[in-house]
Amino acid sequence: MSTQYKDDVLLEASRVRAVPPPLFKVLLLNDDFTPMDFVIEVLEQLFSMDREQATRVMLQVHQLGRGVCGIYTKDIAATKVEQVLQFARTHQHPLQCVMEEN
């Protein structure tokens, strides 16, 4: 609660409520060319997943066409997407990564 005073007189008392920022899912998209081991490597290195969790997400990408890597605020999600795309380009794989509002 914020209280404002002017000349020792209470002007206004108001409650300040912070609104949480919108969250975005970072998704990997399936393709027929990127090796499964590379997808697991991306998930381990860029999303700090252990081998088991990375394998589950990789299988979700493979079987369902896309898989959720994480949920972040907009700026962090955009950075993660760019990191994945750059890492894939560097290793000459067509892996695609997108973000969508949660």
Ordered structural domains, the chain, with CATH = 31-99 (3.30.1390.10)
pLDDT value for 10: 61
Under the banding of pLDDT at 50, 70 and 90, the label for residue 5 is low
Residue 9 has pLDDT above 80, yes or no: no
Tell me the DSSP string of the chain: -EEEEETTEEEEEE---PPPPPEEEEEEE--SSS-HHHHHHHHHHHH---HHHHHHHHHHHHHHSEEEEEEEEHHHHHHHHHHHHHHHHHTT---EEEEEE-
Mean pLDDT of 20-37: 97
Query: For 41-80, how does the pLDDT look when each residue is reduced to its tens digit (9 = 90+)?
Result: 999 999 999 999 999 999 999 999 999 999 999 999 999 9
Task: Output the pTM of the full model.
Answer: 0.82
